[in-house]
Amino acid sequence: MTVNLLEVIDLHKRFELRTPQGRGELHAVDGVSFSIAQGETVGLVGESGCGKSTLVRLITRTLSPSEGQIRFLGNDLALIDPRRMPSHKLRRDVQMVFQDAHESLNPRYTAFDVIAEPLRLLAGVADAADLQARVLEIAQMCGLPSELLVRFPHQLSGGQKARVGIARAAVLRPRLLVLDEPTAALDVSVQVVILRLLAQLKSALGMSFLFVSHDLNVVRLLCDRVLVMYLGRVVESAPAAQLFSDPRHPYTRALVASIPGASAGAREDLIAGEPQSPIRMRGQPADAGCNFRSRCPRATAACEHTEPVLQRVGVQRDAACIHLPLPETDKSPEVIA
């Protein structure tokens, strides 16, 4: 029986704002629900502005949700004040690897101190010998020679800083590791090494991953299951192999068609134009239509007034489109290693 480590239930995040037209709300995360099983790697993809970063901030509790639940190990993280989360007992079980390793490292700390800080603050490790042993152990697992641990961030290469950031997140042996574009700022050759390191750590420490990325080939190679977001909502969820070989939602088809090496037939699914505004003005009726309709090659009049909801479209597969099932086409691009 599969045991879920994390369950996100009908999660919303709205930001109030003023516009020239009056007061409104930006719906950054709009009713998202999904789960991550123990030991599972779930990918989160979607274009910039779709709500991925806001969702990550909600799960790691650096931001409070407007509505919904974030159930982790039987606890609702949504009920924890973000000001208390840094020192909360559950913080050690939910750690994050940031996109820009350089910006996330304290320039006044050596690599050793960066890795040791979570042990001091969250695990209460005060014994110097114990602290050194734990830091050296995770550094070795992350491929960091002990002589590098006395260096400051500006004395490290990009790949070394990435390893320090991963070691800092993994030193507490968390149950869930959230990775926000962890290889985006690295050279391609270094990316491959870091991805292999993450796979090794996951196996050795028994962690679950939420892996956020724009690189669809990386997501396909690393993830067990993939969530596709568009304007704050999950529009498709499926095992990685199935999602990339047979995408069901028109937006997912467009993403897959954009991968270098996609078949000629897939090119018909490429989309143009800009997403609709996620801002909803107060006093105006909510838009009941599909928020992808202005860019969708299969949109009809029905899409103007019918809001699609996630529905089961296969084994462990869900998609949100009123025209399902879509006609089958060849969607399987070549994998770019």
131: CB partners within 8 A, 6+ apart: 116, 119, 120, 125
Q: State mean pLDDT over 261-266.
A: 61
- 3-class DSSP string for 147-211: HHHHCCHHHCCHHHHHHHHHHHHHCCCCCEEEEECCCCCCCHHHHHHHHHHHHHHHHHHCCEEEE
Please state whether 46 falls in left (phi above 0), alpha (psi between -120 and 50) or beta: left
pTM: 0.91
| Distance of alpha carbon 219 from alpha carbon 9, whole angstroms | 23
Lowest mean pLDDT among 43-47, 220-224, 242-246, 275-279: 275-279
Q: State mean pLDDT over 309-315.
A: 91
Cα 156 from chain centre:
26
Tell me the pLDDT band of 336, cut-offs 50, 70 and 90. Answer: very low
CB 55 within 8 A of CB 24: no
Which domains does the chain possess?
A: 1-88+224-337 (3.40.50.300), 100-209 (3.40.50.300)
